[in-house]
Structure 1
């Protein structure tokens, strides 16, 4: 009995437990969807329906309507329903159930399938910033252009949830928006949000999703390093990268721009170097700003990185101009000023250095003298760290990281205190266009490099130095051909290969270019072009054209030129160049030029040359014939020769007067002699005079000489006198001496031949004693006339040697007795001794 009760009891219990199955009370299945319940269009979606073991058939329903059936090959507790390339029409509420032992299970809970992509995406922003603190609050703003009734905010991650709000119209932006407050956020998880818009009539058909917005936290872990490549100052349109390098355990890094309502990018941390790189293919104005990066790991968030200032240049076309004052080469320890100037009214100017070690910003100021805006950047106590390339930009205060196009670069060189080299020009300081010019920089220090610098320009011309046998180092800088742009002031420097510091600057060399203005000034000398040593001389340069400055140059001079401002006088511009206590060194060829203050190295055409001769003091000894005369003394000797000619003419006139008087006396004696003549006996050859009271005649040679000279002077025509005078006024050259001597000799011989018979017929023979006395008297006169004759030849020879021509004087032997009167006159009229220029 007991067994029977027990068996019935067990059967009852079994029947009681199986009754619900037979009555349709099977457990309801569970419905899941993959990959997500919110999927974009064209995505393949799979529904999983899990039921009771032994289920024979599964059904899938949408919104209460049958859609699909699935019969497993073997009884199973799970079925899969796949929908390929899902569309917005597939959006809705889904449920499932299964069949087993002639019974249906109950329906599963509803699963909503949202299909996105039906409308354009909204934007999601964090107010005021996506960077939050632990436990803080933030407001997320979802904005859409479409007038939808609903906006929905979703959170991704293990704790998914969503918020739905009605959209509101914002008149300031002309868009529809909704503000979702999110509070009590913590750094223990990631907070990633998206937002959608949808029509309330189709609540499961959404728009495209917004870009994901992740909240960033400043944690306690080691902060990452942020860097911009190639640099923090980038030209508009150029590509660039921003890298963020975190710790070894960092999983991903985020880039955030200050003032932005969302992060700029998310990168999974690379294990090789732990660097995340954010690429910007083309930089635009909106890229400029301040950046930080954050990294996240399983341990939490890192600290935020340092700030990276990213500047975008080239947004304003008006380029400033940068100038180094006083020069781009500054002595170490000295001061320097960099002037940034622009026609554009920029509110600020900023000066940058290529390595970013120097960065300074100043307010712009208006400069009335140049009519432009400028800023002066002063650098005191310059060090070698200031060596490098500088640029300046203009910008406006409201957009401090958006700059103009850069100025032309200015390279600053630091010169040391080592000995300065010498800069030489072998072609002179004043050059015509098209000529060749070589500037030589040399030093007795073994510099390895030399640099030539033109004041006012930014570039250096560098050459390696060359060694000479004399132990000098030098470099030749060729500037061919000379043009207008060549004009300016030059300096040179030396340096060693192992040093970045240049030597002290050489003395400046000015190169002036002629013919840049159409005028040609005139140059004159006061009081005369030939002056004595110690006199004062004034060179007057004048021009009818505009000239601010006149420049005086001396041919062959190596020193710097004289420059004096012009003054207006009688409708002309002029300048007086004074030379005090001149010496022979002042002798030479002078020219003057005009220039303008706006272009001081551009000159007018040269004036016509003026010669200045400086001679020694009167009374100085004549240089010996072996030493050549300086050019400056030639004119003085010519003046002396003119004086000799004038004296000779005066003596000639006196001689003519005396000869005329003597002729008159001889005529008177002849008349008296005719009455006293006695007839000679037959056979006598000559008549005998009874007048013994008259002066005895000289011998035949003396008579011929006297009569020929008298006849020559008496019969000389005026043109002969002029010819003789002219010949004497010419310089003492070999041809002129020969011509003068031949004229006198030929004239005398012709006259002697004409008067010889008459003299012989009129003279009475003398006794031997008388003849001897006359011979002695004639020899004495010849001896007396020989000395001044030698002086005249010595002067002529000296003059010829001074002119570079050796003149051999005519033979004096046998002619002294023939020309005593002429030589005597020359001897008396010899010039005073000429000062010797060597005494100066």
Structure 2
């Protein structure tokens, strides 16, 4: 590639980057401290900069001055600060990310507080007892000792172990109160506090003594979810995950999985993590049921949490599958009502069953009913595009062992403002020869009621089938085609058209004009040769008498005839000997002339003009001499 092409590409890339910059395609990154922006003097800490997708370089700035740059391939970079100092490192940090020649805006600043510069403050609880019941209100006070200019300081309430800031306040006097209204179990744990300068450098005091806060009551409930889903085939494996809230007071807990109707708990697991998993291998229909999980402290009071929300697990297969119907139909307009009806198969006739409606992709069953009859209605009110999708249903017994039917056939519900766009294809292809048959296939949903074919500049074609046959196409059939479909009998309800498809019909191959002219000329020349030859062989013809024999002879020596030997004029053909004798006599009287060999295999003949003159002078001899015809052949 030449220098000009390379320059143009470079200019194009620069313009592209400039356009991206104008469109603000490089959002500002996020900067935070691991694990807290409050760090002890002499410790190591990490500042992490998270950029937008595609970021490959990062810069760290301190008090609006460049400090460090890194290249990274995972849209983030970690900047390590070793042996932090309250004078050098206790400052305001920000970062920015880059891609190519562009840089993003700066992140929100992070103020790094380094403790250990001042004496620790005091901390105490306003209530007489550090043990509270859930819902009570308390206040934690943090104060400094004899600071003359307290206006230059802020206070921070910290989680004692991680030093994570929970609340911050500016100092109006030498102490501040941190309020904990309506304490929850999540508020139980260890607290400390610090005070620090509100200007650079952000030097802080030593952390205060630790304050233990205990909240009585049940621990907050965990969350339970299933992977890969709530409806699984028999003999499949399923994993149930139980996760708990983050509580500073809890170090290690015991998770328990429970199933409604079974007194003995399912497997238990002890973990210091916030979640754990329970695997149910090779499930059976008997495993269908309602599941929940709890956790409890392993030490101390061994309090247990409230149970999680119930999770309905379905393993179908015991009973025959039901049928699912939609009223008024599968395709509805927005804000209309649809009723899905789940029916038992006729041979079942069981009462007291629970019917459940499922939607593919939904984490939980949509509706459950226990009707008196053999079917259940599930209304979908004022539908929107979010209600479009695949639905199925099943039924099961109310009591253990929870025998469950197979899933019904999937029913696809469409909302008109969410209908798919059709597609148009051609067979055998978009470019065909004239006279060929072309099949245009309009592909839409299987329930499409009618299909419409459009051609640019022509009338539309409507039919029930999705295949449109164009027979014996000509170049006039070339053009852009598209199609659409009707979801129902309402003619006014038509979907958007497919993308245009260009059909090109090649014109039939024509014979070149020069070839036709040459062919006609050759045929005419051959006919003239035949006519003149006939005149020679029949001297009585008036035309032959008027022509000069010698000129005629020269004219007939042409590549259009293969032999210039005449056959007898009378009915009895001469024998081969008489012909050979006559030819031999003429050959002796006239010197032989060699015949040229045509490269195309044509044989040329030479007429003996002296022999012709001799016979013309002797009519008597000429009348008894057998006439000679020429055998002319055309290949």
TM-score bracket, shorter-length normalisation: 0.3 to 0.5
Which structure has greater helix proportion?
Answer: 1
Q: Taking structure 1 as the reference length, what is the TM-score of the superposition?
A: 0.27
Q: Taking structure 2 as the reference length, what is the TM-score of the superposition?
A: 0.34
Computing the radius of gyration from Cα coordinates, the structure with the larger value is 1
